[in-house]
Amino acid sequence: MKTQFSSDKSDNLDPAYFLKLFTALAILAAVYFGSVLFKNKTETQSQNSPKFNPPQTETVFAASLPVAQDAFLIPRNDIVTPIRNWNIEEPKLSAKSYYVIEVNSGKVLAQREPEQTRPIASLSKLMTALVIIERANLKDEITISKNAVDTYGEMGNLVTDEKMTIESLLFAMLIESSNDAAVALSEKFNGQFVAFMNKKAEQLGLKNTHFADASGLAIENVSNAKELVKIMQEAIKYPLLKNIMKTSEIDILSADGKRNHHLINTDKLLLKYPEIIAGKTGYIDEAGNCMIVAVSAPDGKGAIINVILDSQDRIGEMDKVIQWAKEAFLW
């Protein structure tokens, strides 16, 4: 007895099914042959082109990097120094304004009110020195006037009618901060000296710096910590000025060789820090104790310029700042 199997119409194959299957297979084939063609073309171009070997970089592990705000997981040679060590606190200073900057990188290390315009006392003599070295013959002789000798202050020990070379007067002015020497130098320019000081400030782009005399006794001699950095940067371009300002003690003679002037630098830190490039102190009542010092950076690649204005202890606080910059940053 034969068994007959019956089937429903739904089991019959629909032509639309074949159409869909064919379409899918066609797409897959197109993708496959397209990828093969692209690969062959790329390999051919690569064989015909010079090979490029990427530069090898030093592998740096996270554990080898200092833990600091400025640290990044990049090769050590690419890290911009100095890097702050936040375990060392910023020094506590009485100065009303201060500014510490590494001039090679432009990195500000510490600051307080750096744009506050204030009287700058004998820091003005940096600009006096710039005008002299740019406009005068250093071998010329100046006869010291009674007006210069009568200027407030005893430093320099100049006497009326003695003759001094301009270079010797620069030593007296920058080492002992002699007001007599500053006035004697300015008198050579027949009343035009202060105008030259202000013109130089304008050339340096100093918008908050103004001078009324060569010595800094005038309270109208004003600047701010940021702009004083620019003046010092300009001053240390001249080897003679750097040499004078880092001289701790020296004897200079009058032009005739008959009178000796023994000069002792007002920057007492010169004996402690051989890395000092240049420095200048200043004081009048309205300005308080002021000081600016440029030192070589610990890595030997640049300079740090430190400005302190209106401090209760300019030498002690400048000492703190110089030492702090060494310890609070990785160089």
Residues with active-site annotation:
122, 125, 177
Distance of alpha carbon 320 from its chain centroid, rounded? 19
Are 324 and 102 within 8 A, CB to CB? Answer: no
- Would you say 128 and 114 are in contact if contact means Cβ atoms under 8 Å apart? no
Phi, psi of 329 (to 5 degrees): -135, 150
Torsion 171-234-204-284 (CA) sign: negative
**The residue type at 279:** G
For residue 294, give both structure tokens. 């440029």
- Whether residue 303 contacts residue 102, with contact meaning beta carbons closer than 8 Å, is answered with yes
What backbone phi and psi angles, to 5 degrees, belong to 217?
Answer: -70, -30
β-partners of residue 262 are: 251
Which residue type is seen at 52? F
Query: Using an 8 Å Cβ cutoff, are 159 and 254 in contact?
Result: no
Cα–Cα distance for residue pair 151/183, rounded to 1 Å: 8
Q: Phi and psi for 182 in degrees, rounded to 5?
A: -65, -45
Buried b (16+ CB within 10 A) or exposed e, 116-133: ebbbbbbbbbbbbbbbbb
CB 83 within 8 A of CB 330: yes
- Residue reference for tokens 């023994």: 262
